[in-house]
Copies of this chain bind each other. A is one copy, B any other.
Amino acid sequence: MINKTVKNADEAVKDVFSNAVLMFGGFGLSGIPENSIKALLEKDLKDLTCISNNAGVDDFGIGLMLQKRMVKKMISSYVGENAEFERQLLSGELEVELIPQGTLAERVRAGGAGIPAFFTPAGVGTEVAEGKEIREFDGKLYLLERWLKADFAFVKAWKGDTAGNLVFKGTARNFNPMMAAAGKITIAEVEELVPAGELNPNEIHTPGIYVQRIFQGKDYEKRIEQRTVRK
């Protein structure tokens, strides 16, 4: 097996460059590559294009990259919980492309899967359809959407092995598997890194072929946005 292990986050992100297109797995603050984001914050980067369903919150996750003005453009489906994101968007400081969540997931999946374009019903008749080809199939209207790829994709898994195979946990899976496949260089951080052969091949969510670098993450905060409990 090909060994994909690198020492740590700093080594993993060493060749990330300004103007690059980056993808970040995660939904809300669940399943985000915390270690890689921290390492990126230490670097002198600007004019990044970031593809991520959300943009973290003001003081955590990609929100910190927005605060540091490292990001030229965000491609996301939801701004919701991030006041700084919404402010930069409304003021025009930040270029934002908002995409329906399922279209975002499928465009990223298409990027990894070598499908340059596909038709989807989401957004027909809305401003999302502007400038896009519309076509009818079996009596229903669909939009033509293009694939999305990245120079670097950052994903976070629960377990991983040295061959780059990944297993996610709970709803922290979300966008991570598709993004792993859509990065020219995919960097995976895991809570537990094990030798190749220790994961059950039948239980792997992301095969190692998609992962170029893997490292054992540390000090996970795993913040909760909406702690909701039963009485």
Total interface residues on A, CB under 8 Å, equals 23
Question: Is there a chain B Cβ closer than 8 Å to A218's Cβ?
Answer: no
Question: Is there a chain B Cβ closer than 8 Å to A125's Cβ?
Answer: no
Determine the chain B residues whose CB is within 8 A of the CB of A140 once the complex forms. 116
- The smallest C-beta distance from A90 to any residue of chain B, in angstroms, reads 33
Q: Per DSSP, are chain A's interface residues mostly helix, strand or loop, or mixed?
A: mixed
User: Would B117 and A115 count as touching, CB distance under 8 A?
Assistant: no
Question: Is there a chain B Cβ closer than 8 Å to A170's Cβ?
Answer: yes
User: Would B115 and A106 count as touching, CB distance under 8 A?
Assistant: yes
Question: Is there a chain B Cβ closer than 8 Å to A226's Cβ?
Answer: no
The copy count of this chain in the complex is 2
B-contacting residues, A186-203, CB 8 Å? 202-203
- Selected from B118, B135, B142, B170, the residue in CB contact (under 8 A) with A119 is B118
- The smallest C-beta distance from A79 to any residue of chain B, in angstroms, reads 26
User: Would B119 and A137 count as touching, CB distance under 8 A?
Assistant: no
User: Would B119 and A117 count as touching, CB distance under 8 A?
Assistant: yes
Q: Which of A106, A116, A121 has the most CB of B within 10 A?
A: A116
Determine the chain B residues whose CB is within 8 A of the CB of A137 once the complex forms. 116-117, 146
Complex CA–CA separation, A106 to B110 (angstroms): 11
Determine the chain B residues whose CB is within 8 A of the CB of A121 once the complex forms. 114
A173 and chain B: residue at smallest CB distance: B202
User: Would A115 and B118 count as touching, CB distance under 8 A?
Assistant: yes
Complex CA–CA separation, A121 to B116 (angstroms): 9
Determine the chain B residues whose CB is within 8 A of the CB of A116 once the complex forms. 119, 137-138, 140, 142
Determine the chain B residues whose CB is within 8 A of the CB of A146 once the complex forms. 137
Complex CA–CA separation, A188 to B126 (angstroms): 39
Determine the chain B residues whose CB is within 8 A of the CB of A113 once the complex forms. 106
Could you mark each residue 157-176 of chain A with 1 if its beta carbon is under 8 Å from any beta carbon of chain B, else 0?
00000000001111000000
Question: Is there a chain B Cβ closer than 8 Å to A82's Cβ?
Answer: no
Chain A residues near B (Cβ < 8 Å): 106, 110, 113-121, 135, 137-138, 140, 142, 146, 167-170, 202-203
